[in-house]
């Protein structure tokens, strides 16, 4: 099996490289959109607690929908292909971003907020100068979880005609080629591990700098 997988990587390197780039493009687009929307929603929820049950409740409910079911639900509206995959992946990626943004901001000591307000800072200044910087490690942890999850879920996108490494898995399954299936799965796992390590390293650097400043 190992020899077959290595042979596939050697003989069809261009094929796997193309699929890897497609995988990164689809998941990267979904991650970028979800990061922006999730951050904005998280800030809104933390600043206006009354909307918390609505926003968090909705994202929690969507998160429980099986990915295949969501993809199937979207097909009549957006068709098959990358667009539908990006929409579904974005929806799934929202929950960890929203939840960690809210947790990070609401976990800041009220005394720090009151001190800033006593010095004449406006609500917006408090948000971007104090709340978001202090909440950044927690937000990045949510972002890290979201990235790993999205990279993994993108593999399912091939079942609705999208690109990415899921194509290799799908072809392996339909042709009973176990080596092809495993080869695609390994590359998805490697992508997730590499990005997880990179973001984790950034979080450690930020935490180290904060300790030095403190």
pLDDT of residue 212: 63
Q: Residue 79: left if φ>0, alpha if ψ -120 to 50, beta else—which one?
A: left
Q: Considering the domain 2-213 in this protein, what is its CATH number?
A: 1.10.3720.10
Average pLDDT (66-70) is 83
The lowest-confidence range among 14-23, 64-73, 84-93, 184-193 is: 64-73
pLDDT at 76 over 80: yes
Q: How far apart are CA 123 and CA 131, in angstroms?
A: 10
pLDDT of residue 197: 93
Average pLDDT (2-30) is 91
pLDDT at 214 over 80: no
């Amino acid at each position: 099996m190992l020899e077959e997988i290595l042979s596939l990587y050697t003989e069809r390197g261009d094929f796997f490289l193309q699929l890897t780039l497609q995988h990164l493009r689809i998941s990267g687009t979904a991650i970028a959109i979800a990061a922006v929307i999730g951050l904005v929603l998280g800030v809104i929820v933390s600043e206006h607690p009354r909307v918390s049950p609505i926003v968090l409740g909705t994202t929690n409910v969507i998160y429980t929908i099986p990915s295949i079911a969501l993809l199937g639900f979207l097909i009549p509206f957006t068709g098959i292909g990358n667009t539908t995959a990006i929409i579904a992946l974005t929806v799934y990626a929202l929950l960890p971003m929203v939840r960690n943004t809210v947790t990070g901001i609401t976990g800041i000591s009220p005394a720090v907020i009151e001190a800033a307000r006593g010095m004449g800072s406006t609500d917006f200044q408090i948000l971007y100068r104090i709340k978001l910087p202090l909440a950044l490690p927690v937000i990045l942890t949510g972002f890290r979880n979201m990235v790993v999850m999205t990279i993994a879920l993108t593999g399912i996108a091939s079942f609705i005609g999208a690109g990415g490494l899921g194509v290799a898995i799908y072809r392996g399954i339909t042709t009973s080629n176990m080596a092809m299936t495993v080869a695609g799965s390994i590359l998805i796992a490697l992508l997730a591990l590499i990005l997880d390590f990179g973001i984790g390293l950034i979080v450690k650097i930020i935490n180290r700098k904060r300790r030095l400043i403190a």
